[in-house]
Amino acid sequence: MASTKTEESKEGIKVVKEEVENQKEAIAEAARLHGIDEEQIILFRQFTEASPEWHHKISKTILRKVDFHLLPMLILMYMLNFLDRNNLSQARLGTLEEDLNMTGTDFNLATSILFVGYILMQLPSNLLLTRVRPSIYLGVAMTIWGTISAAQAATRTFTSMVVCRFFLGFAEAPFFPGAILLMSSWYTRSELALRIAWFYCGHSFANAFGGLLGAGVLAGLSGTHGISGWRWLFIIEGSLTVFSAICAAFILPNYPATTKWLTPEERAYAQWRLVKDAGEADEANASSLKEGLSLAFRDPRLYLFTLLQHASLLSQTFQYFFPSILQTLGYGNIETLLLTAPVWAATFCASLVVTYTSGHYGDRSIHIICLILISVVGNIIVVSTLNTGVRFFGLFLLPMGALLSYQIILAWIANSFPRPLVKRSVVISFANMVGNSANIYGTYMYPAVDAPRYLAGGSATAGVGLLIVLLVIIARLVLQRQNKKLAIREAFEAEGRATEPGDRDESAPVGFRYML
């Protein structure tokens, strides 16, 4: 009996050793195929053999460094990005419309025109990002949009405001998809959702801080030196953006292989983590632009996820009118801006919880469905009653559902197209480009004449929420089917049998599975 147990134990050790050897060779081969030099491949083999304790220690060290250098700057940049984009809604509560002789749907046009410029620059910008240092590229883009944002204070006519807004969108286009791309080049799939949540904190901070700043500027600086309060708002926020852009160019890291504040071993390990997680490290020149475009547009999942992102962004258009909707509760301009702060603070706290659970349990679809249904309920409440307390509760649910589900959708898209870098760049920028077209027509869903219920906009947004649920279910089924194909492929290859050409996903290494 003891002899049998000893033989079983030896056999088990043998199997484990064989699995380690296979994994070691698979990772080394994936690295070799994508331009990683032999010296690093030797390190990759050593990493594969290292103890779990060593992996835990070095991963913790690298993540601490990356989080410190990358996330605070990206959060600040996103906060200022959204402040400069959305400050028109706060300026509206001042004398903006009166000073520029805006009537009817002029405000809607000034809001939507930004996304025309934003969409036009989206795809070429992200392709260029794979060939230029992200720190310099994003820093320069931020300087330009901050300058344009401040220049809005000098507009004297509605036409000049529309022109400024168009070019503001054009200059802002590189940032959001570029930031998502940069984060997905540092973090594994299980780490990305929580980091996107922290990044998206900039959005919640912008809405909360923007309301407080807007209230302070409109109340305290209106008429100072003969300048209207809304003009001061543009000047202050634009100046903050330009100053932060200069800092970003020196603080933001680039890609793992070229970052100087990591040791050579840490740089190699940062790449090894990505190879182990998705089969390829992020090498900017591993694939040509033409190849990246071809890989992306031949993948049918691109169009499904693009439609999902489009619907998700359409469900969020209420935020560009949030102060106006909140004002229907009967409060004054300053009180209304102050009341926006707790809504966005609560959204921020909730985002940390749901994105942690999404990453911890490796789930995307169930989280998105539950969250978007919260937004649907919020919309129904807001359009169905004029009771102040109940409507205010409904307004809490709107961003808590729509924005948090969008955070997880962003992580899901990046996770579903892991490598190569150029393909992921095309996917993220194309989905963001088409997705943001929702803001061109979605901004007309809340015309001022529909106050106080905004019945048409709220009902349509609730309907879009249900469409998102349907799209998420379809996406889950598609990825489930893909995972089954990957399992069958691996079983066939383990037995030495060839698979059907159509069943092979060349971008997926052995052991890879799509997150559901």
The residue with tokens 């996406």 is 475
Burial 150-172 (b: 16+ CB within 10 A, else e): bbbbebeebeebbbbbbbbbbbb
Mean pLDDT of the 218-235 span: 91
Residue 390 is predicted with a pLDDT of 93
Closest CA to 30 of 513, 515, 512: 512
Mean pLDDT of the 29-46 span: 62
Residue 68 is predicted with a pLDDT of 92
Mean pLDDT of the 14-20 span: 43
- Pseudo-torsion of CA 37, 39, 40, 41, nearest 10°? 80
pLDDT band at 283 (very low <50, low <70, confident <90, very high): low
Q: Tell me: the pLDDT tens digits for 471-500?
A: 999 999 999 999 998 888 888 777 766 555
Give the integer Cα–Cα distance in Å for 54 and 494. 30
Q: If you count them, how many residues does the chain have?
A: 516
- The predicted model scores a pTM of 0.76
Closest CA to 382 of 441, 445, 295: 445
Portion of the chain with pLDDT greater than 70, in percent:
86
Q: Tell me: the pLDDT tens digits for 108-141?
A: 899 899 989 888 887 787 777 777 888 888 999 9
The single-letter code of the amino acid at 264 is P
H or E element: which one contains 433? Answer: helix 421-436
Give the integer Cα–Cα distance in Å for 355 and 193. 6
272-276, 306-310, 369-373, 458-462: least confident range: 272-276
pLDDT band at 424 (very low <50, low <70, confident <90, very high): confident
Mean pLDDT of the 37-62 span: 81
Query: Phi then psi for 252, rounded to 5 degrees?
Result: -60, 135
Residue 463 backbone zone (phi > 0: left; psi -120 to 50: alpha; other: beta): alpha
Mean pLDDT of the 187-196 span: 81
Q: Tell me: the pLDDT tens digits for 286-299?
A: 556 677 788 889 89
3-state secondary structure of 185: coil
pLDDT at 29 over 70: no
Give the integer Cα–Cα distance in Å for 215 and 220. 8
Mean pLDDT of the 225-240 span: 94
102-106, 168-172, 303-307, 391-395: least confident range: 102-106
Portion of the chain with pLDDT greater than 90, in percent:
37
Q: Are residues 308 and 409 in contact, defined by beta-carbon separation less than 8 angstroms?
A: yes
Mean pLDDT of the 385-391 span: 91
